[in-house]
Amino acid sequence: MTVKPDQNGAGRAARGEDRFARRFPAEPYAVREALRAAVARFARRISPEDAGALELTLAEVLNNVVEHAYGGCAGGQVDLALSHAGSALCCRIEDRGRPMPHLAIPEGALPPTGVAVATLAEGGWGWSLVRGLTENLTYERDGDRNRLTFRIPLDAV
């Protein structure tokens, strides 16, 4: 399939799927810019609620890549690919950072209710959000590459 990129690194595939692809440094500012561009690419084609789900999911995952996969290592790259196909956005994120612990996506369980906020551990809850906003969430370590794929179902197409 042929994709013609536009000035923002996005393209329209020959069979009519909207696509976005970007490679960027694993740095907070670059994540913010890629996130902004990805959401802008699809914002006029999806509902505001779906755009919010896309933004939140990508922010959680991409910030985890920067903080955990590459934490303390300079020069890492992240590959982000999105396609709008029918009633979902299909997402793929790849990096060459550290693998996920136990080569598995963290459970990301939410804390029990009725617990004092001051006693709660920091972090780890983002995966609960990601799991709740996506479907077909998969992780694999292929050689020295991490690959995370998922779909974000769209309410209004």
pLDDT category at 66 given cuts 50, 70, 90 is very high
Over residues 20-30, the pLDDT tens digits come to 999 999 999 99
CA distance 136 to 129: 14
Judge residue 37's burial from the number of C-beta atoms within 10 Å of its C-beta, 0-12 exposed, 13-18 middle, 19 or more buried.
middle
User: Does residue 150 contact residue 62 with C-beta atoms inside 8 Å?
Assistant: no
CA distance 93 to 22: 10
Give yes or no for residue 68 having a pLDDT over 50: yes
Domains and CATH numbers, the chain: 18-153 (3.30.565.10)
CA distance 58 to 41: 14
Over residues 129-140, the pLDDT tens digits come to 999 999 999 999
pTM above 0.75, yes or no: yes
